[in-house]
Chains A and B, each alone.
Chain A
Amino acid sequence: MVHGESGGGTLLEISNLHAGIEDKQILRGIDLSIEPGEIHAIMGRNGSGKTTAANIIMGHPDFEVESGRVMLSGEDLLELETWERAREGVFLSFQYPQAVPGLQVGNFLRKSVASIRGEESAKGADFRNELNEAMDALGIPRSFLSRYVNDGFSGGEKKRFEILQMLLLKPRLAILDETDSGLDIDGIKTVAAGVNAAIRGGESAALIITHYSRILEHVKPDKVHVLIDGRIVASGGPELATELENNGYDWIEERGEAEGVA
């Protein structure tokens, strides 16, 4: 496998991606490339295809790729099973995390770390310490470990749990799908701090999917992309998020049409 060219290669390279479900086309030609150490944001209205994009990068079996490529450090992700992608370092913080009654959080975290980072990383005092540190950073109490995965969690607990997993799994590419919704301002700050700590100055990268510019004030993305109807209609710096917040998506649609992008 051709991975780990962390020296200079692009981390994520999506080109001309068309994808959908059954007969319905949802993504209509996406191009996106993310370099190691970068944080990108995708903004867009409900239904524009943000979650679909995240699902396709992670390999959700319900979606079909019609054409295009998704490469991680030069390796074709679309050839891999979901769990292989995870082991290659792709992580998705779900918009709607799934409950698994009876599966204990502590047990699940240990197993996930073992399968993604290797048995050795999931053992002994080092793992314990790492786990405790991450939980403290996110303000998650120890009692959380004996609860069942996402079972009866509040919205905020679910999102914190996603970030806890991100911190422990140490992905190369972290995709955060609306992790900010359902969190209060303190939660958003905590999550942003977690993302900054995990990405800034390292070889990993993050793709933050959101509705609101609020989380972006705390992570300062390198690039912001606007997704409308399955296409990226505008890309820019962090200022684009603020403009969107002030002027709404209509503004960008009009601008896009004026520029002949859409």
Chain B
Amino acid sequence: MPANQDAMEAVGDYKSGWHDPENSTIRFDFGLSEEVVREISALKGEPEWMTDIRIKAYRHFIERPMPTWGNTPMLHEIDFDSICYYLRSSKATEKDWDEVPDDIRNTFDRLGIPEAEQKWLSGVTAQYESEAVYHSIREDLEKQGVIFLDMDSGLREHPEIVKEWFCSVVPLTDNKFAALNTAVWSGGSFIYVPKGVHVEMPVQAYFRINAKNMGQFERTLIIADEGSSIHYVEGCTAPTYSTDSLHSAVVELIALPGAHIRYSTVQNWSANVYNLVTKRGIAHENSKIEWVDGNIGSKLTMKYPSVILKGEGSHAEVISVAYSGEGQHQDAGAKIHHLASNTTSKILSKSISKNGGRGSYRGLVKVSPKAENCKLNVVCDALILDEGSRSDTYPTMEVANPTARCEHEASVSKVSDNQLFYLMSRGHSEEEALAMIVNGFFEPFTRELPMEYAVELNQLMALEMEGSIG
């Protein structure tokens, strides 16, 4: 997300669309094969068990057909042979921004990352193409035993923890794109929060794709031990190119008894990026997992953050917003599985479509026969800004226990002339008025974000509303 003036000057409507010259130190040829998978693993000097997982995942990816839902025509346009599956642009992951290569550091400066780090973050990881180029954590947290590493370092330094949990939440056979990620993953975050430790300020990951036809496949694993808490925030942008890139991440969260994980995303990929992401958490007794998920950019996003409520008294929340502009399809939603009694869940989905954009809510909430006294609440609101834009909802509830209390509300609305007129009569231009309505609509989401993110999201939406009035 643009955080400073510089970033605001970039290409066209999308303000993070500039790119640096490509200075790769290692670049794989386009296309994917078992050989490429082995090379990635060898390059990273991984233990054999990880190489085996990768190979299995690759084979599953090849066999697994494309999903038959979402946006199938767009999915079939993906050309897996014209994607670069591994690209490294710097020699190492640095702890000091001054050590990061100039071009790359400038990019993160323009995105405001070092500034944010100083002001309000507990730690930062900055990934550029396939590898983390910068990584740091506040000393006091390190002293308390908090582990916050890029995933590759996590595997090197804590193989036993990684081995225990990797693929335990999202099995490699979960879906085609999770299999692809498992085969070629690189980068991402590895976090372990010890028992009872509360990480007060958020930690942030920022993902930047710079090269053309790039595939970014970060892998994130967060384990919050008993009674601990953490807020993880991620952002992402890419240059605008005429050819497509692919971002396919897997995120696994484990909230042990009494822990609390909040995972916030503001996704602002350029309109040539496929964003096909699997995010899932397992919540143990009395723990809480929250996904706060904002999808503003990308060409096609298919993402349904999910929570498995495995422990009694656990709680899940998925609060998401999606903005679909010209040529964009945001197919987003949530999945919650109530496996244990007295578990509660809340889904709030807000989507805006404009200029022929398409937003879909796809949700699944399941209650197992043995789960007594569960509470479910699902609210989906769509706001359509013009004719020709589209919004669909596909809500599914499978409730196999009669003691469950389910609430479901859905609404589709349009901006009325009277609403715009009212705001314009207070001195606001039509674009400003529209941005006020749109930001108001997203407010239940933005108020869940750290203030700095909320302000940027509002600015982002105001930019999106520019030039939208004929």
Contact = CB atoms under 8 A, between A and B. Distances in A.
Given A62-B417, A94-B422, A97-B422, A112 B427 contact: yes
**Which has the most chain B C-beta neighbours within 10 Å: A59, A83, A101?**
A83
Interface string A100-111: 111100001001
A112 B444 CA distance: 22
A87 interface: yes
Contacts of B440: 100-103, 148-149
Contact of B425 (A92, A102, A103, A148): A92
**Which has the most chain A C-beta neighbours within 10 Å: B428, B429, B432, B439?**
B428
A206 interface: no
B304 interface: no
Contacts of B427: 83, 86-87, 112, 115-116, 169
Contacts of B417: 60-62
B426 A86 contact: yes
A28 B416 CA distance: 27
B424 interface: yes
A61 B421 contact: yes
Contacts of A101: 440-441, 443
B202 to A, nearest CB: 23
A223 B429 CA distance: 34
Interface in B395-441: 416-419, 421-430, 432, 436-437, 439-441
Contacts of B421: 55, 58, 60-61, 82, 98
A204 interface: no
A81 interface: yes
B421 to A, nearest CB: 5
Nearest to A92: B425
A100 B417 CA distance: 12
B207 interface: no
Contacts of A97: 422
Interface string A37-63: 000000000000000000100111110
Given A61-B417, A94-B422, A102 B444 contact: yes
**Which has the most chain B C-beta neighbours within 10 Å: A59, A87, A94, A102?**
A102
A164 to B, nearest CB: 12
B419 A112 contact: no
B432 to A, nearest CB: 8
Interface in A207-236: none
B442 interface: yes
A73 interface: no
Given A81-B430, A100-B440, 19 more contacts: A61-B421, A81-B424, A83-B427, A83-B430, A83-B432, A87-B427, A92-B425, A94-B425, A98-B418, A98-B419, A98-B423, A100-B423, A102-B439, A102-B444, A103-B440, A108-B426, A111-B428, A112-B428, A116-B427
| Across the A-B interface, the 8 shortest Cβ-Cβ residue pairs | A102-B440, A102-B443, A115-B427, A98-B422, A103-B440, A116-B427, A112-B426, A82-B424
15 contacts: A59-B424, A61-B421, A83-B427, A83-B429, A83-B432, A86-B426, A92-B425, A98-B416, A100-B423, A102-B440, A102-B444, A103-B437, A115-B428, A148-B440, A169-B426
Interface of B: 416-419, 421-430, 432, 436-437, 439-444
